[in-house]
Amino acid sequence: MKAYDSLSVSTVLPPELAPLRTLAKNLRWSWRSSAERLFAGIDEQLWRACGRNPIVMLRSLPASRVAELAADPEFVARLGHEAEDLSAYLDSDRWFHKHTRGTADEATSVAYFSMEFGITESLPVYSGGLGVLAGDHLKSASDLGAPIIGVGLLYTYGYFSQTLSREGWQQEAYAEHPPKDLAVDPVLDASGAQSRVSLAFPDGRTLEIALWEAQVGTVPLLLLDTNLPENPEDLRAITDRLYGGDAEHRIRQELVLGVGGVRAVQAYAELNGRRQPTVFHLNEGHAGFSGVERIGQLMAGGETFETALAAVRSSTVFTTHTPVPAGIDRFDAHLVQRYLGSSGGLTLVPDVPLARIMELGAEDDPGRFNMAHLGLRLAQYANGVAKLHGVVSRGMFAKLYPGVAAEEVPIGSITNGVHIPSWTRPSMLRVIEAMNGGRELATSGTWNHPEAVGAEELWRIRGELRAELVRRARESVRASWQARGAQDAELGWIRDVLDPERLTIGFARRVSTYKRLTLMLQDRDRLARILNNPDRPVQFVIAGKAHPADMGGKQLLQELVNFADEAGVRDRIVFLPDYNVTIAKHLVAGSDVWLNNPVRPQEASGTSGMKAVMNGCLTFSISDGWWDEMADDAVGWTIPDTSGVDERTRDALEAGALYDILEHEIAPLFYARDERGLPVEWVEKVRRSVSVVGPKVAAERMVRDYVTDLYLPAGRSARVASDLVATRSFATWLGDVRAAWPGVRVESVVAENREPKAGESVRLSARVELGGLSTDDVLVEAVVGAPDAEGELQSTRIVEMRPAHEGGSTFVVDVPIDEPGLLGYTVRVQPRHAFLQASAELGLVRLPA
C-alpha cells in the first residue's frame, strides 16, 4: 500500500540523557574507548548499522529504548562520568600552555590546511594516509593544548566505499552524507545565520561557501561546503567528493580550500573572539592558494608584492608528502591563469598580479604550475615527513635553491607519528601505560618500564587481539561473499577461514603501484608452500582501496583476490573489503607482523606500521619511510635494499628475501615455544618494539616537534614581519641585493700557510667584490674538507669569515686543522639578513669563478 503522506519522527532525549548529545558532538569520543563503548552498548546492532555514527544513532533510537536507558541508573552514572571527563579534558592545563606561559610564544596560533582529515569513520572526509595523519595531528594537538584550527572541505559524498564483484573487480559506491548526519554545526554569524564566505570567479559568477565546524577535543575543525541551493549546479558540486573529477574540478576544490579557507578561518576567529591565526601550515601543496590570498590581502592594504610575500613567507609552514615527482600536484598553467587572472575587471584575488602568481608556481615545464613549488616559495619553513624523505626532498627540490649543496637545501624533516589513544586497543593501551610508569600518555624518550607487564600477560593480550581479528575477518569475508552473489549453502568453509593460533601477517594500504601489493605473488608456489607449512602455517589478512580511476591498481587487487580464491589457500589469505579507519584499527592490532614492501625510497613515511607497533605487532619492512631511520633487527625484520638493478630483478630479489625471512626467521621464532607454550623470544621482541619504537612514532612527539621546530619559530618571524615598516625595509633590501648580485664576485682565495701541520690552523683570506653591497649585507664563509677524485669536498666544515679591516672587502678566518691529509677549501658568499631563516633560501650563492 502506498503512503498517503509521511512525517519525520524525531527522538527526544530526556534531561538525564542530554549529555549524550554533548558527547556525540565532540569527536573526542573517537579516541576514548569507554565513551565509544557507551554509545555502542546502547544498541550494538543499530550502532553498526549506522556506521558507528552517534549522531545518527541517537536520532534513530526508539522511544522505548530511550525510556529504558533513562531509567537505568548504571547507564546514567556512566554517562555522567563520561560527560564530566570530557569537560575536565576540555578545561585542563596542557603542555603547550606550560611550555609557553609568560613568553611571547603564547600568542602563536596556527591554521592547519588539509584536503582531508581522517578522524573517525563517521566523519567521512578522508581517503587514506594523508587524511589519517591530519586527523592524528589535530587529535594530538588537542591532547597537547596546541592552539590549532583545522581547515578542510565538507564533502557531500566523501570517498567511495569498496565492494568486490564475483570476479574480484573493485566496485565503488558513494553514499550521501548530509551535514545533519555528521558531528558538525554551522558556524553562526552575528545575526545567527550560517556564516558564509564567497569567491568571485572571473567568469562573473560568485561561489558561496557555507562554514561548518567540528570539535576535535579542544581543536576546532572548520569545513567548507559549496553544496548550497543558491550556487549554480557545477559550482555546488565542487565539494562533492574527494579526489574525483578532472583537473578543473580539482583546481576549484583547491581554490575553495586555499582562498576560501583563509577567508573562512579569519571570519571564524573574528566571530568567536579568538586570536587570528599567525601561522599557516599547508599539509601538502593542495592549499597553496592560501598564500596567494594572504598576499592579496596585504596588497589590498597598500603593500607591494615583495613586502606581502616576505610577510606571508615568514608565517607559512609547508609539509611535502611525496618523494615521487609524479605524485606532485601540477596544473596546466592556462587553467591557473583562467582562475587567477582577470576578465572584464573581475578577478578572484584582485590585487595580486597574475605574472607574480605564475612565477611562484613555475617549474621546468613552462606549461605547468607546480603546487609543491608554490608551497616552497610561499613558506620559509618546509619539511618532509621522515629523515630519508627529507634527504630525498632536498635532492628533488634542489633546483629551487641553486648554488648550495643538497644538504643545505632548506627543507627539514619531522617524522610522522600516530595518535596512540586512537590506534591502540584498550588492552595494549594499558600495557603502554604500565611501561610508561603508570602515566596516562608517553612523555618523552623511551617508555622506561618495559618489564611492567609479564611475558605471559603480553602473549595472552596478543592472542586475544589476533582472535578478535579472526572473528571480524570471518564476518567480513562472509558479508563480502554474500555481496558477491554467493549463497549461504556455498559458504560453510568460512567458519574455518583463518585460525586464531596461526602466525598472522597484515598488509593494508592504498593500492598504488609503488606499494607493491602483489610482490608476495612473485612466486605463487612458494607462497602457497609457506602458507600451508604443516608445522609453521602462515596466514595473511589484506585490505586496501584502489583509486577509482586506477585500472592498474584494480587489476593488482583482482590478481590478489583471485589468488586468495584458489582452493587450497582461501582459508589463509583473505581480503577484507572497504579498508577504513575501523578496519585499520583491528588489522594492525590483530596481526603479528605488519608487512610493508614499497619501492625504496617512494614511501615518504607510512603510518600504518606505526599503528602496528603500538599494538605489539612486529615490523617486516623494506628500509623505507619511517622504518629507514628505525630499522633494527632487535625489534623487527628488514628486507635488504637492492638498488641499482632493473625493476624486474629488484622485485624478484626483494620477493625472494621476503619469502626467506618469513620462512626461515619469522615463522620459526613465532612457533618456538617453551613448556608453557610461550614464544619467549617473540614476546621479548614485542616488548622491545613497543617500548623502544613506540614513543618515537607517537603523534604526540610529532606535534611537539612541529610546535617547537616550526610553529613557534614561524610565530616569532611572523611577529617580526607583522611590523610592516621592518618588512618593507627587508623587501627594499632584497630588491637591492638582487640588483647588485651580478656584480658580486670572489676575486681570490689564499691560504697563507702552505705547509700546515695537523694541530695548527690555516689562515684563509678572500678578496670579495661586493658590487656596491656593504659587508653587513653578506655572509662570507670558508668551506673546508677532503677533496675526492673529482675535487668535490667531502665531510665539509663551514666557518664564517670576517672582514680583515672595518668596511674592507678582504675577509679572513683561521681554520684549526686536526686531521693530516689533503685539505681542500673554497669560499662562498651569500646574502645575510635577520629576516632570512636559511642563507640558502634566496638561491643566491657566489663561489670563486
Ligand X SMILES: *Cc1c(COP(=O)(O)O)cnc(C)c1O
Going from the C-alpha of 107 to that of each of 104, 206, 265, 725, the distances in angstroms are 6, 35, 16, 21
| Shortest reach from residue 632's CB to ligand X, in Å | 19
* CB-nearer residue toward ligand X: 195 or 322: 322
Q: How far is CA 389 from the centre of its chain?
A: 13
* CB-nearer residue toward ligand X: 261 or 609: 609
* CB-nearer residue toward ligand X: 281 or 509: 509
Size of the site for ligand X (CB under 6 A): 14
The region of 140-148, 175-183, 574-582, 671-679 touching ligand X under the rule CB under 6 A is: 574-582
* CB-nearer residue toward ligand X: 527 or 581: 581
Q: How far apart are CA 556 and CA 547, in angstroms?
A: 12
Give yes or no for residue 580 binding ligand X (CB under 6 A).
yes
Residues 204-223 within binding reach of ligand X (CB under 6 A): none
505 closest CA partner among 594, 573, 572? 594
Give yes or no for residue 382 binding ligand X (CB under 6 A).
no
- Strands, E, within 469-584: which ranges? 503-508, 538-543, 573-576
* CB-nearer residue toward ligand X: 175 or 847: 175
* CB-nearer residue toward ligand X: 361 or 606: 606
542 closest CA partner among 640, 469, 464? 469
- Name beta bridge partners: 605: none
| Shortest reach from residue 395's CB to ligand X, in Å | 22
* CB-nearer residue toward ligand X: 132 or 299: 132
* CB-nearer residue toward ligand X: 417 or 606: 606
Give yes or no for residue 579 binding ligand X (CB under 6 A).
yes
* CB-nearer residue toward ligand X: 318 or 626: 626
| Shortest reach from residue 626's CB to ligand X, in Å | 9
| Shortest reach from residue 605's CB to ligand X, in Å | 7
Q: Which of 606, 616, 679, 713 binds ligand X (CB under 6 A)?
A: 606
Around 688, how many Cα atoms within 13 Å sit in the side-chain half-sphere? 13
Q: How far apart are CA 173 and CA 188, in angstroms?
A: 33
Give yes or no for residue 27 binding ligand X (CB under 6 A).
no
Q: Which residue has the cell 561557501?
A: 209
Q: Which of 278, 427, 607, 717 binds ligand X (CB under 6 A)?
A: 607
| Shortest reach from residue 546's CB to ligand X, in Å | 13
| Shortest reach from residue 582's CB to ligand X, in Å | 9
* CB-nearer residue toward ligand X: 585 or 650: 585
* CB-nearer residue toward ligand X: 142 or 416: 416
3-state secondary structure of 117: strand
Contact in structure between 259 and 292 (CB atoms under 8 Å): yes
DSSP-H helix ranges across 227-365: 233-236, 247-255, 261-272, 289-300, 305-314, 333-340, 354-360
* CB-nearer residue toward ligand X: 582 or 775: 582
Site string for ligand X, 107-136 (x = CB under 6 A): ---------------------xx--x----
DSSP-assigned states of every residue in 710-752: IIHHHHHHHHHHTSHHHHHHHHHHHHHHHHHGGG-EEEEEEES
Q: Which of 142, 215, 608, 621 binds ligand X (CB under 6 A)?
A: 608
Give yes or no for residue 621 binding ligand X (CB under 6 A).
no
| Shortest reach from residue 544's CB to ligand X, in Å | 8
Q: Which residue has the cell 575587471?
A: 345
The region of 182-190, 392-400, 427-435, 579-587 touching ligand X under the rule CB under 6 A is: 579-587
Task: For residue 830, give every residue at least 6 positions away whose Cβ sits within 8 Å of its Cβ, in sequence order, or none.
Answer: 778, 779, 781, 839, 840, 842, 844, 845, 846
The region of 4-12, 602-610, 725-733, 788-796 touching ligand X under the rule CB under 6 A is: 602-610
Within 10 angstroms of residue 183's Cβ, the number of other Cβ atoms is 24
| Shortest reach from residue 552's CB to ligand X, in Å | 17
| Shortest reach from residue 505's CB to ligand X, in Å | 15
3-state secondary structure of 348: coil
Local structure of residue 126 (DSSP, 8 states)? -
662 closest CA partner among 500, 529, 497? 529
3-state secondary structure of 319: strand
| Shortest reach from residue 110's CB to ligand X, in Å | 23
* CB-nearer residue toward ligand X: 126 or 459: 126
Going from the C-alpha of 587 to that of each of 29, 166, 502, 595, 699, the distances in angstroms are 21, 24, 15, 12, 19
| Shortest reach from residue 126's CB to ligand X, in Å | 8
416 closest CA partner among 167, 246, 613? 613
Q: Which of 313, 509, 547, 704 binds ligand X (CB under 6 A)?
A: 509
* CB-nearer residue toward ligand X: 510 or 554: 510
DSSP-assigned states of every residue in 805-837: STT-SEEEEEEE--S-S--EEEEEEEE--TT-S
| Shortest reach from residue 608's CB to ligand X, in Å | 3
Give yes or no for residue 809 binding ligand X (CB under 6 A).
no
Give yes or no for residue 626 binding ligand X (CB under 6 A).
no
Q: Which of 581, 655, 693, 698 binds ligand X (CB under 6 A)?
A: 581
Contact in structure between 551 and 429 (CB atoms under 8 Å): no
Q: Which triple of cell numbers denotes residue 632?
A: 633494527
Q: How far apart are CA 331 and CA 367, in angstroms?
A: 9
| Shortest reach from residue 128's CB to ligand X, in Å | 4
Q: How far apart are CA 427 and CA 461, in angstroms?
A: 7
Q: Which triple of cell numbers denotes residue 548?
A: 577509482
* CB-nearer residue toward ligand X: 177 or 846: 177
**Footprint on this chain of ligand X (rule: CB under 6 A):** 128-129, 132, 509-510, 579-581, 584, 606-609, 611
